[in-house]
Every structure is written in C-alpha cells, then in structure tokens.
Amino acid sequence: MEKYERIRVVGRGAFGIVHLCLRKADQKLVIIKQIPVEQMTKEERQAAQNECQVLKLLNHPNVIEYYENFLEDKALMIAMEYAPGGTLAEFIQKRCNSLLEEETILHFFVQILLALHHVHTHLILHRDLKTQNILLDKHRMVVKIGDFGISKILSSKSKAYTVVGTPCYISPELCEGKPYNQKSDIWALGCVLYELASLKRAFEAANLPALVLKIMSGTFAPISDRYSPELRQLVLSLLSLEPAQRPPLSHIMAQPLCIRALLNLHTDLGSVCMRRAEKFLATGPPIAPGSTGSRTTSARCRGVPRGPAQPAIPPPLSSVYAWGGGLSAPLRLPMLNTEVVQVATGRTQKAGVTRSGRLILWEAPPLGAGGGALLPGAVEQQQPQFISRFLEGQSGVTIKHVACGDLFTACLTG
C-alpha cells in the first residue's frame, strides 16, 4: 500500500472491506477492496480472483475501471475506479416517491444497456446486476456497473449452473434450478428498469418462499401510465417468464424508444461547458456601438472596442449565434433583413421565426459552393459556413413557434 494513502472505510462487502484511498502518484481517489484470503474457502478465493480476471477484460466508460491488484497482509487488494455519486439505489431512495421523468429513466437505462452489452460481448455474465451495484459519477449523470465478484466467464457450454445473485433480481429459470445464459442478466436489467420507473422493486415479499412464488408467477404491479406505452411494453418484455421471449440486448438498443436516448447520450457525454465569451465573435464585420434600430444583447456589446466610425452598412435587425456540435466558439449566423423573435436547433436543423411570422432556415451551402474546402488531414480547420433562406411556399400562413427534433422541424401556426 506504499502507493496509496487510506482515507476511510466506505463499505463492507460479502468478502471484505472497501477503502477509499488516495493514489499518491497523481492525487487521484480510488477504491481498494481488501479481501482476506488466508481463511477463505476455495469457492470464496475463486470468487475474489474471478473479479480481477473479469475486470481486466473489460474496458468501457459505463463499467468501473480496474487499475491493479496485489497481495498485502494476507489479503488480496483490488484497486479500481471511485464513483463519488453513490449507488443508483441511493439515488432512487432519495426521490421520496417523486417519479423520474421518462427522459431521465432512459438516460440511465441506455448506459446500463451499453455496459451490459459490453460485458456479454466478452462472454461474461454479471449475475448480480442490481441498483446497489450500479454507481454514479459526481454529477449523477453517468452510471457505471461494478461488483463483478460473482460474475461468470462462460465456457464453450455457455451455461452456468450455480445459483447466485440477490433474491429480488433472480430470474424464474434460476428459481427452478435451470441453467441460464445472458437472458438471466436481461431479467435483472428489467428489474432495474422497473425500479427506475416505479422507485420500488418489481418483486418483494416477507420471506424467500413468497418471493420465489411471486417471481415464478411474474406478478408485479404495472408502472405508472404517465409513461409511454413503449416504455411500459419494454418492461413487460424484459420481465417475460420465458427466457426466449426476452429480447436480446441488440434488439433493445434498436428500439425507437432507446435510439434517441442513445443518440442524446453520446452527444451529452461528449459536450463541455462553455464560458460566455468576453469578446464579440462573428462571421461578419462588427456592428458599431450605438447603432440605432438594432436589436442587441449585452453579450453582443460587451468587449467591443470603440474606434473610428464604420462604413454605413445597414445592420441586421437581429443577431443569432450558434455553438456546440463542433463549434469551438459562438458563431454568428448570416441574417436576412428581418427580425427574429424565436429560434430552435436540432441535430440537423436550425430554424427561426420572424416577427412577421415567417420561417427562416440556416443550412450548410451546397457541395462545391464557396470553394476552398480543406482536404481531410489538412492542418488548418475552417469554421462551418451557413446560408440563410426563408421557407418557400409559406404564403398565407403565419408561424408562431418552431421546434426542431433529431431529424424533423415542426411549426405552430397562428
């Protein structure tokens, strides 16, 4: 432990003590599991070694990262990533019966889905997937699955016969003593999704026989009808009594319900917060301060130096900026001689509504227009260019509001 400094004990697991430690080399917080091996049974020692073996195989942003393991004081020490946001079970408990938004549920669910898909790709069964083993980052937006102590690396038979796991998440086939494969993890995934939607477990009982009876009959209360039919159907399919009827992970990821959450996930996790620019950044010449008739914001005027009078160029009635999605700095979009009162942006569209009720669109220029496109691999990078135009064929219709989705634009008329 000379490379680490113990801070405090954060938990006691089935096989040992969990320490929060500081890694001296880079001052990074890590988790170290201390597992005494001297008095362990053969099965317990195998479970401890198995966690190291499994973690070494996995490398995914939604799986707790493994650092190293070593022996010290007759104990196996496993160093791994620290997730400071607590467990998903604690997050759910703190909701105090205030149901989560469907978007939030899917945001968490698709991350667990991706992690489990990565695990299964390596022919590993988790076998103890539950909200207590799903951890959160400090912002409670990124989830990571952990605790692979009883995971099973499948042999060529692709079946595991030992019954392990937390009783509330055990699948019906395990209750019957049948062999199982990845479909038992998918049942547990359904239990986690149900818990996210209902803030309670799908299967609970006062004693184990009563719990097994509930699981075997597939009896659980439906989730709230505030959620979409697609989400409710997904819960039902994951908790199908017959393993063959539970959809494989690849089919779940292909469902429209999950596709948008997956698209948003990769966009959100790759974004960075931006500070408001202190100086005005634009594609065109700056507007002289004090110009009359122009509609400005404080950000537009702040930091613009006063200098000689600019040429008499009619200023636009509005300024619209775009950033994110590859734009490293706010970019002023080209404007027609009109006043924009509302804007919207989606994954592929940018649109605005003018005071007169017309729809203005900003689009990339046609291929070959504007010239000068750099070849792939060029050192210099050009700012994306846009052209503006009014929507054609809008005569007789006044638009009040516009909204952009992933692949569509919708307008509200007056």
- Is 128 designated active site? yes
d(CA 171, CA 179): 11
Sheet with strand 350-354: strands edge to edge: 340-345, 350-354, 359-363, 387-390
The one-letter amino acid at 227:
Y
Q: What angle do CA 78, 145, 14 make, to 5 degrees?
A: 50
Tell me the H-state helices in 66-122: 88-93, 102-121
The one-letter amino acid at 397:
V
Structure-token pair, residue 250: 């690849």
The one-letter amino acid at 19:
H
What is the residue-wise DSSP string for 160-212?
Answer: B----S-GGG--HHHHTT--B-HHHHHHHHHHHHHHHHHSS-SS--SSHHHHH
33 is in an annotated binding site: yes
The one-letter amino acid at 232:
R
Structure-token pair, residue 363: 């689009």
Residues 6+ apart with CB under 8 A from 405: 346, 347
d(CA 361, CA 359): 7
- Pairing mode, if any, of strands 359-363 and 387-390? antiparallel
Question: Which of 340, 400, 333, 342 has the alpha carbon at shortest distance from 363?
Answer: 333
Q: Which residues pair with 22 in a beta bridge?
A: 5, 29
First to last CA, the chain: 70
Q: Which of 128, 147, 185, 225 is catalytic?
A: 128
Please give the annotated binding residues for ATP, written as ranges. Answer: 33
Catalytic residues: 128
Please give the annotated binding residues, written as ranges. Answer: 33
